[in-house]
Structure formats: structure tokens, C-alpha cells
A and B are shown apart, each in its own frame.
Chain A
Amino acid sequence: MPLSRGFHGRPRRPEVDPSRVPPGQYVTNDFPVLSAGPTPRTPLDQWSFTVQGAVDGGAKTWTWEELNALPQETFTVDIHCVTKWSKLGTTWTGVSVDTLLEDVATTAEYVSVYADGGYTTNVPLEDLMDGKAWVAHTFEGEPLEPAHGGPARLVVPHLYFWKSAKWVRGLDLTIDDEPGFWELAGYHNYGDPWREQRYWSD
């Protein structure tokens, strides 16, 4: 790799465990925002969450109150944004996707996650199961701010954070993989930060 003359970088932060920082990422303490358009604001009494698509027995929908009545989990994870920042040890509360899919029978292998504002992102179904993903409404003990995806966003911490759709409203279970918004705009279809899968050709 060619050296950059005179570049030393910031003194390495001793408190940061390098094994928790994927290649090309840097650790930040603030919470940058990346979205393609204005922040949508759906009133909670009009909000719902739906699991639909290739599901036997039809779609299932939860109101805001029903979602909050489901078993809640509080979890602490590292998150990695494709714009290079990582944030370690973030704490969220929400409903595990396992809970939402509990009574769902499907032959689908993919999910098209959809959100207010028309945003979609695609994730293999198995990447949302077995404790790997949540629909979260609380960040560090506070209601999730609209700019960060409130009232609720998907959190899939093992993939780049654009997969963690803000303003999430449902999961569309699909037989075929259907690239979403950023995936169609040249970003990687899967997005594993540890393999630095940022762009389609990575």
C-alpha cells in the first residue's frame, strides 16, 4: 500500500479494542446520521408493523401498543456505518425479530425490509433470526429520535448499518432476493463490515 507522506493519524486510542473495529472504520462517540431524504414523522396512533409476503396464513400486523406489549429485549452491540464510523457498546431496547416471526411459516429465504419514506433494504432471512436482529424503539434508555429512525428502526448490528432500516414499518418475506434502495445505488448486496463489503464490487 502506498504511504501517505507525513500522515501519522491520530494517536491510537488505548481504550478502543482494535479487534472490535472492522477494516476501514474509525470509532466515534457521536451518532452521525445518513439518510437519503427528509425524516418522515408517522404519528404513533397511525403506526403499525407488518410481516407480509410469502407467509402461510397471510400478513400479521401489530399496532404501536401491541408491539410494545410483546416481550422486550435490551441489548448492547457495536454498530458500523458504511460511511466509516463505528460506535461501540450501544444499548437498545426492542422486540427480537424472532418474536415477530414466531408463528410465521414461510418458504422465503430473503426479506425486503420496508420503511416510511419508501426506503427498502434486503437481508437474507437467516440474518434476521436467532437473536441477530431487533425492531428497536429505545436508544440508551430514551425513545429513539426521529433522525435516528424513531419511532422504531430495525437493528442488524452484524451488517453495515444501512441494513438497519430507519422508520421501519414491516418485513416483506420474499422467495427471491430483491435489492433495496442503497443496494440498487451501488452499495453491496450483503454488507458485511468485517469483509469490508461496502460497494457492489467489493
Chain B
Amino acid sequence: MGAVVAGAAAAARITWREARVVELIDETPSARTLVLDVPDWPGHDAGQHLDVRLTAEDGYVAERSYSIASAPEDARVALTIERIDDGEVSPYLAGDVVVGDAFEVRGPIGGHFTWRVGDGGPVLLVAGGSGLVPLMAMLRHRAQARSTVDARLLVSARHVEDLLYREELEALAADPSLSITYTLTRGAPERWKGFTRRVDMDMLQTVGPDAVAMPRAFVCGPTPFVEAVADALVSLGHTAAAIHTERFGPTGS
């Protein structure tokens, strides 16, 4: 079985390890970042995820997948979790967990939705809601590696207060080779400079890069969002094989 491995990070055996929460950061009213200390973490590529396993006192276990938000260069592993109100795992991780708590994780997982600076660009990153998490790992990696690869980020959220990592992204945007565009789909504050509609072909064309520049596209978010954006990119002439998608959560239909 050992031959079936892509990427150096995947070469380590994917075993359960105990992760300890060392810091909690409230990102938005419904999302929280957990910074984890994971002994012997084998390292990861930006875009990969890990599995979390929680165990209740009666032995019941629940497993879920979460994208890694931190750059491969960071010593600690960060997750950002959006609370789904009727959910089983996310209200616990984004609500009940306190610093010092521990749970099991294993990873990194996924060799498809990844980007390393060496892969080059241009790159087009399109995020819906918490779909920004793995794309943020890519931008953090890009910044840490001092890459100047042409990168465009388009973030869609419902309300302005739902936008993740806003200050950090603003700081990253000082880099002229990175452009960041927001769109809000459920109303915007006064003097809002971003878009105020769902992502469509016109918006993707404005954000660029054009299909002729053959960007690597990474699209992540709820399934209907990813379907719509990936279809729009195909219609704009982007090569299907260059469009990487990761879908979170239910179909919404």
C-alpha cells in the first residue's frame, strides 16, 4: 500500500494524535479558530484537511473533517470552525472547547486541493463562507514563502460580519501581486466598496485572471456555491482540469 502516496507530507502514516488547544480566536459571531499543539505533526500542504475525532463519556465517537487554516511553515496547526446551530460537532468545537482541552486528530489528508508556491501561478481562489479556510492556508503559505505569484482572492459571505480573517487579509493585500475582492449576498453596510451579489461570470471576469492566462483555480464552500462557481469558470473558458473544488456540508437542495 505504501506506493499509493502523493506528496511528501502524505508519506507519514496517518495515525490519530492528541491535539491540545493552546489558543482560541473568535473570528466572527459564528466562527472560531482553534490553535492546536499536535505532537509529531508530520507537516502538511496548504489546502489539506485533517479529521477530528471526539469521544463522549459513554464511548460514542463522532468524526468530522476540517481544513487546515495555518501555513505549512507554522509550528502549530490552526482550524477555523463555523458553528452550524443544529450540528453535532461544530457547536462543541466552536463553542464549548476551552484552552487546555484535547481531542484526537489525524492527517494531513487530501492531495488534490493543494497549492505550493513551487506550483506557480497565476492562482484564482474563490471562497464561499468557511470555504475560505483552506484558501487562507494557501495565502499564508504564499506570504511566508515571500512568493510574488499573481494571486486573486474572491470571498463571498452573507454579511460583512461573517467575513473571516479580515484584518490579516487587509495586511496581506499590501502586496501588489495579491488582489482581494469581497462580495456580500445579504446586504452591505454603507459605503461598501465590494460587490453585493452572488458570484457570477461577470464578477469572475472582473477579478481575473482571464482564462487565457491559465490560472489554477481553487473553489471551496457549500456545494451549491461550488457548483455555480465551477460551472461559471468552465463557461468562461477555464480548463476543467485546472479547476480544483472542495465542497463542505450538505447539498442545500
Q: Is B244 at the interface (CB under 8 A from chain A)?
A: yes
Q: In the complex the two chains form, what is the Cα distance from A200 to B88 in whole Å?
A: 28
Q: Is A69 at the interface (CB under 8 A from chain B)?
A: no
- Which chain A residues numbered 156 to 200 have a C-beta less than 8 Å away from chain B? 179, 181-186, 188-189, 198-200
Q: Is A62 at the interface (CB under 8 A from chain B)?
A: no
Q: In the complex the two chains form, what is the Cα distance from A2 to B59 in whole Å?
A: 10
On whether the beta carbons of A200 and B60 are closer than 8 Å, the reply is no
Stretch at the interface among B70-78, B102-110, B134-142, B197-205: B102-110
Q: In the complex the two chains form, what is the Cα distance from A7 to B101 in whole Å?
A: 11
Q: In the complex the two chains form, what is the Cα distance from A37 to B229 in whole Å?
A: 11
On whether the beta carbons of B2 and A200 are closer than 8 Å, the reply is yes
Q: Select the residue from A30, A36, A40, A117 with max chain B CB neighbours within 10 A.
A: A36
Q: In the complex the two chains form, what is the Cα distance from A47 to B17 in whole Å?
A: 47
Given A3-B56, A7-B54, A37 contacting B4 (CB threshold 8 A): no
B-contact 0/1 string along A7-25, CB 8 Å cutoff: 1111010000000000011
Select A184's contact among B6, B15, B61, beta carbons within 8 Å.
B6
A28 contacts which chain B residues (CB < 8 A)? 250
Given A186-B4, A199-B109, A5 contacting B101 (CB threshold 8 A): yes
Q: Is B227 at the interface (CB under 8 A from chain A)?
A: yes
Select B247's contact among A7, A34, A181, beta carbons within 8 Å.
A34
Q: Is B233 at the interface (CB under 8 A from chain A)?
A: yes
Select B251's contact among A6, A24, A33, A36, beta carbons within 8 Å.
A33
* Minimum CB–CB distance for A1 against chain B, Å: 5
* Minimum CB–CB distance for A30 against chain B, Å: 4
On whether the beta carbons of A4 and B101 are closer than 8 Å, the reply is yes
On whether the beta carbons of A26 and B62 are closer than 8 Å, the reply is yes
A8 contacts which chain B residues (CB < 8 A)? 56-57
On whether the beta carbons of A184 and B4 are closer than 8 Å, the reply is yes
Q: Is A107 at the interface (CB under 8 A from chain B)?
A: no
Select B227's contact among A117, A147, A188, A199, beta carbons within 8 Å.
A147
On whether the beta carbons of B111 and A186 are closer than 8 Å, the reply is yes
Consensus secondary structure, chain A interface: loop
On whether the beta carbons of A35 and B247 are closer than 8 Å, the reply is yes
A-contact 0/1 string along B1-41, CB 8 Å cutoff: 11111110010011100100000000000000000000000
- Which chain B residues numbered 187 to 232 have a C-beta less than 8 Å away from chain A? 223, 227, 230-231
* Minimum CB–CB distance for A3 against chain B, Å: 5
Q: Is A83 at the interface (CB under 8 A from chain B)?
A: yes
On whether the beta carbons of A84 and B64 are closer than 8 Å, the reply is yes
Interface residues of A (CB under 8 A from B): 1-10, 12, 24-26, 28, 30-40, 83-84, 117-118, 147, 179, 181-186, 188-189, 198-202
Interface residues of B (CB under 8 A from A): 1-7, 10, 13-15, 18, 51, 53-57, 59-65, 88, 92, 96-97, 101-104, 109-113, 223, 227, 230-231, 233-234, 240-241, 243-245, 247, 249-251
Beyond A31-B251, A35-B247, 12 additional contacts (C-beta under 8 Å) are A1-B104, A4-B101, A8-B57, A9-B60, A10-B62, A30-B250, A30-B251, A31-B250, A186-B10, A200-B14, A201-B2, A201-B15
- Counting from the closest, the 6 A-B pairs by CB-CB distance are A38-B230, A185-B111, A4-B54, A30-B250, A10-B88, A201-B13
What are 9 A-B pairs at a CB distance below 8 A?
A6-B97, A7-B62, A30-B251, A33-B227, A37-B244, A147-B223, A147-B227, A199-B109, A200-B10
